[in-house]
Structure 1
Amino acid sequence: MARDTRDRILLAAKELAEENSSVQGVTVSLESVAQRAGLTKPGLMYYFPSKEALMVGLVEHAAQHWDQLLRDCTGSTPDALTPCERYRAYVTVATTAEVSRADYWIFSDALYKPTLTAAWRPHLGPWFATDGAPPAATALLTTARFCADGAWMSEATGVFPAADLGAVRSHALALVDQAAAATKDAP
């Protein structure tokens, strides 16, 4: 029951972020989330005692979701994969997953709050590790990730989305293939 209530709260916060059309950006309060989740503010505060705790929970929930999408894509954990396999999965997921304005807000809000940035690291950090890859391969993998990052952010915000996301994915995956070749050719 506690997990269901916690998830209901996080879903309510994400829904509010998705609905917010203010030019000032997204405003999510403990009161508005509690109301949306069908709880009292003290009821919500049992799970998230502060706005910061709610935001960290929201980021962790999003990061866990991305981690699960990547695990579903690969059928594996990141530590069992090569860097190229991990980046191939990320490019694929980032260019095919359903994303929204709220997803972008949750990700970008971390820029301004170190505690939110830290919440992403344990879940996505292992997917972006390039340990053992030669510098040329690391540069290609990073470029492929930046391409995928831009694609999902553009899709989530609706600002200049790709006319052909499949072609973007193909080009980013070609960079991963080049990184794999560079890894094989490395001494």
Structure 2
Amino acid sequence: MAHDGRMRILEAAKALAESHDSVQGVTISLESVAQKAGLTKPGLMYHFPSKEALMLGLVDHAAEEWAQRLRTHTGHASEELTSFERHRAYVTVATTAEVSRADYWIFSDALYHPKLSRAWSEHLGPWFETTGLDERAVSLLTAARFCADGAWMSEATGVFPSDDLTAVCRHALSLIDAAEQMSDGAAEETSTDTETEVTE
């Protein structure tokens, strides 16, 4: 029951953000969210005792929602996949998911409040893990991720959206393919060098 009340509040806060004409016009208060959720302010404060707690909850909810989209798309947890598979999932989901101004506002607000960025790091950080990869492969994966970031943010804000997101997705995925081929080539080269050393 408490979980239902918490979710009701978070959805109300997101709906308020979405109802504004611009991201800059978003103003969230405990009173406005309580009214939108059909609760009293004390009822809301039972779940979120302060505006900071509400914002932390909202960001955590949004970040977990993105991570869940990725798990649903792949059918796996991040640790069960390769870096290339994780990045392909993100590119695909980011260029096909339904996003809104509220998504962008929740994400961008973390720029000004460091505490809010932790949830994004915790939930999405594992999906962007590239430890152990050649730096050239990492740069290609990063470029693919930046393509995906730009795609969903542009769609969410309506500022210069793409006329063909499918093409954007395809090009971003080709960067990941190139990174994987580069990584495989480097691994084969290392293996050959090792075999040569053993033979000598």
Q: Which runs of 4+ in 1 moved over 6 A?
A: none
1:26/1:87 Cα in 2 relative to 1: closer, same or farther (>3 Å)?
Answer: same
**1 CA distance for matches of 2:170 and 2:149?**
14
What is the CA-CA distance between 1:132 and the residue it aligns to? 1.6
Q: Which amino acid counterpart does residue 3 of structure 2 have in structure 1?
A: R
1:71 aligned partner: 71
CA contact (8 A) 2:155 2:161 kept: yes
Structure 1 residues 173 and 22, CA, compared in 2 at 3 Å: closer, same or farther? closer
Following the alignment from structure 1 to structure 2, what is the Cα–Cα distance between the partners of residues 70 and 24?
Answer: 29
Q: What CA distance in whole angstroms lies between the structure 2 residues aligned with 1:109 and 1:176?
A: 29
In 2, the alpha carbon distance for the partners of 1:145 and 1:50 equals 34
Q: Distance in 2 between matches of 1:73 and 1:136?
A: 27
| Aligned residue identity for 1:178 | A
The number of residue pairs the alignment matches comes to: 187
State the match for 2:143 in structure 1.
Answer: 143
Q: Does 2:188 align with 1:179?
A: no
TM-score by length of 2: 0.92
Question: Partner residue of 2:51?
Answer: 51
Please tell me the residue identity of whatever aligns with 1:166: T
Report the counterpart of residue 60 of structure 1 in structure 2.
60
Matched, 1:31 2:35: no
The correspondence of residues 31-180 of structure 1 with structure 2, limited to 5 A, is 31-180=31-180
Tell me whether 1:21 sits opposite 2:18 in the alignment: no
Deviation at residue 120 of structure 1 after TM alignment: 1.1
Gaps of 5+ in 1: none
1:18-50 Cα offsets, whole Å, 9 max, x none, are 001257421011000000001000100010011
Q: Distance in 1 between matches of 2:176 and 2:23?
A: 38
* Alpha-carbon spacing, 1:181–1:22, altered in 2? closer, same or farther (3 Å): closer
2:9 is equivalent to residue 9 of structure 1: yes
Q: Which is greater in Rg?
A: 2
Q: Residue 137 of structure 2 contacts residue 179 of structure 2 at CA under 8 Å; is this kept in 1? A: yes
Residues 63-111 of structure 1: per-residue CA shift (max 9 Å, x gap): 0100000001111011111100000000000000000000000000000
CA distance in 1, matches of 2:172, 2:22: 34
1:137 is displaced (CA, Å) by: 0.7
**1:101 and 1:141 mapped to 2: Cα distance?**
26
CA distance in 2, matches of 1:4, 1:54: 15
Instruction: Tell me the secondary structure at the aligned position of residue 36 of structure 2.
Output: helix
